[in-house]
Amino acid sequence: MKSSSLTRAVLSTVLQPVFSTRPNPGRSIVCSASPPKPRTPLYQRPPAFRATLSELKKWHVWAKNQAASVGSSFLDLDDGPDSPLLLRELNWLVEDALERPSVLSPQNSSSNYDDAIPVSIRACLYDLYKLWKQRIEERRPFQYLVGCEHWRDLILSVEEGVLIPRPETEIIVDLVDDAVRGNEKLRNGIWADLGTGSGALAIAVARILGVGSGRVIATDLSPVAVAVASYNVERYNLQDRVAVRLGSWFDPLEDVKGELSGLVSNPPYIPSEDIDGLQAEVSKHEPRLALDGGANGMNDLIHLCNGAASMLKPGGFFAFETNGETQSKRLMDYMDTKMKGSFYSINITPDFAGIQRFVTGYRA
C-alpha cells in the first residue's frame, strides 16, 4: 500500500454514519456457528495474474471515463461520491491491485514501457472490470472492492456483512487512552467492545492497553463480523490479548459480570426510518444489523447503558458512540434520572466535525 493511510482513511469515507431481522436488544441470544472464511485484502494477495500493459491501460482509460461520467450526480442524489473522489479511489485500486502501480502513472503514459510487456496483478483483468462496474453501477463501497479499510494506524479486513469502520469512531480510542493514562488498574483490567464489527475498536484498545495484563473481549451478533474480527485480531497477532465471542451484547460476557474495567461500543443508532435515505453505499450494501437502532435509534444505546451498570466494576470506564447531540443528551438524561447514582463524571465529547457524539463516564 503506497498511499498515506490517513489520507486514504479520511477521504475514502464519505459513507454516512442499516434488515430488520434484528433482535430485541434485551433478548438473550448466544449462538455458535462455523464462521465463513474472510477474504484476504486485495493488496495482500499474491500478484498471480498477468495482463499486457496495453490491456491494463485500456482498462484504466475505461475506468477513468466511468468515474468522470458520474460528475456530481451521486452527490446530488444522496450525498454519494463525486467524480474527483471516484478518481482517487481508482488510484487506490491501482495501488492495491498492481505489483508495480507506477506503470499506469501519467509520467509513464507515453513510451517508457513497451505496451506488450506483461504486468503482474493481484486480481485478473476481468475482475478489475467487474469491480469497477460494481463501484459505479451498483454503488458497492470501495472498501468492499479492495477488502480493507485504513483506520487509525490499522489496515482492517472488511467485507459485505461487516460495517466499514468510520474515522469518527477513532476518537473512542483516544478517550480510552486518556482514561487509562495514569490508571494502571484500568489499563490492566478486562475490557469489552460490544458490537465489534471488523474488530477495529477491540484491536485498537488492546494496543492502547499494551503488553501488561489488560485484555479485551469483543462481541458481535453477526457470525460474519465475528469471523472478520477474529481474522483481523490474527492479522495483528493479538490472539492472546483479544477474544472474539459470538452473541447478543452482554450475553457472551456472563463469566465477567461485574468485573469489567472498561466498556466501549459503537452500536447501531440510526433511526429505522432514516436508513433508506442514506447514501446508496450504506443503505444498499452495509448490514442493516449494524445500523438500525430502532424507532429513535436509541434501543441499543439504552440497553448498553443498563447493562454497563451491572457489568462494570466500580470505577470502570465506558464510552458509547451516538448519532449526535440529541442522542447524547438523551442518554445522559437517562443516566442522570433513570439510573441515578449508577455513574459519575458523565461527559459528552464531540467528533472531528464538532458533533456531540460520544458519551463517557465511570461506574459508581
Ligand X SMILES: C[S@@+](CC[C@H](N)C(=O)[O-])C[C@H]1O[C@@H](n2cnc3c(N)ncnc32)[C@H](O)[C@@H]1O
Q: Which residues of the chain form contacts with ligand X (CB under 6 A)?
A: 22-23, 25, 163, 165, 169, 195-198, 200-201, 219-222, 225, 248-249, 266-268, 289-290
As measured in angstroms, the least distance from the Cβ of 204 to ligand X is: 10
Nearer to ligand X, 143 or 219 (CB): 219
Nearer to ligand X, 20 or 72 (CB): 20
As measured in angstroms, the least distance from the Cβ of 282 to ligand X is: 11
Cell 492495491 identifies what position? 96
Question: Do residues 307 and 260 lie in contact, with contact meaning Cβ atoms separated by under 8 Å?
Answer: no
Residue 103 CB coordination number (10 Å): 19
Cite the beta strand spans of the chain per DSSP E: 49-52, 118-121, 148-151, 154-157, 190-194, 215-220, 242-246, 260-265, 312-321, 343-350, 356-363
Q: Which amino acid is at 79?
A: D
As measured in angstroms, the least distance from the Cβ of 362 to ligand X is: 21
Nearer to ligand X, 74 or 250 (CB): 250
Question: Do residues 65 and 90 lie in contact, with contact meaning Cβ atoms separated by under 8 Å?
Answer: no
Nearer to ligand X, 23 or 212 (CB): 23
Q: Which residues contact 137 (CB under 8 A, 6 or more apart)?
A: none
Q: Which three cell numbers stand for residue 71?
A: 460528475
CA distance 267 to 256: 20
Is residue 329 helix, strand or coil? helix
Nearer to ligand X, 49 or 249 (CB): 249
As measured in angstroms, the least distance from the Cβ of 301 to ligand X is: 11
Nearer to ligand X, 249 or 318 (CB): 249
As measured in angstroms, the least distance from the Cβ of 273 to ligand X is: 17
As measured in angstroms, the least distance from the Cβ of 34 to ligand X is: 18
As measured in angstroms, the least distance from the Cβ of 64 to ligand X is: 31
CA distance 47 to 105: 19
Q: Which three cell numbers stand for residue 231?
A: 481474522
244-to-28, 186, 222, 263, 305 alpha-carbon distances in Å: 18, 20, 11, 14, 21
CA distance 328 to 346: 11
Cell 472488511 identifies what position? 158
As measured in angstroms, the least distance from the Cβ of 268 to ligand X is: 5
CA distance 306 to 328: 15
Nearer to ligand X, 190 or 225 (CB): 225
Nearer to ligand X, 95 or 300 (CB): 300
Sign of CA dihedral 37, 41, 46, 47: positive
As measured in angstroms, the least distance from the Cβ of 340 to ligand X is: 26
Nearer to ligand X, 200 or 208 (CB): 200
